[in-house]
């Protein structure tokens, strides 16, 4: 086999091994996160709400405000919430 093929093979092997290590780290971190949610649940926190809070904190303010406005519009259209008094 030529040196070029050997180098390509070595690079490929290095990439695969790095990905495998990172996948293992990702699994470990996912397990750690699961444990933290379990601790929070054990102290009485609602984990669904915690997950929602995490999701919201990842958004920037404008994105969050836009989504909340759209959600309010949909809920109003379905009669699930009342229109604000000044909007009527």
Tell me the whole-structure pTM to 2 decimals: 0.70
Q: pLDDT tens string for the chain (88 positions)? A: 567 788 899 999 999 999 999 999 999 999 999 999 999 999 999 999 999 999 999 999 999 999 999 999 999 999 999 877 765 5
For residue 28, the model assigns a pLDDT of: 98
Interval 57-69: pLDDT, tens: 999 999 999 999 9
Q: Taking the C-alpha atoms of 20, 26, 29 and 35 in order, what is their torsion angle to the nearest 10 degrees? A: -100
For residue 6, the model assigns a pLDDT of: 81
């Amino acid at each position: 086999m030529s040196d070029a093929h050997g180098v390509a093979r070595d690079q490929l092997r290095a990439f695969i091994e790095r990905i495998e290590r990172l996948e293992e780290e990702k699994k470990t971190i996912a397990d750690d996160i699961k444990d933290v949610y379990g601790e929070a649940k054990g102290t009485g926190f609602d984990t669904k709400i915690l997950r929602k809070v995490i999701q919201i904190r990842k958004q920037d303010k404008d994105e969050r405000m836009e989504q909340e406005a759209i959600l309010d519009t949909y809920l109003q259209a379905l009669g699930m919430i009342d229109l604000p008094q000044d909007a009527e």
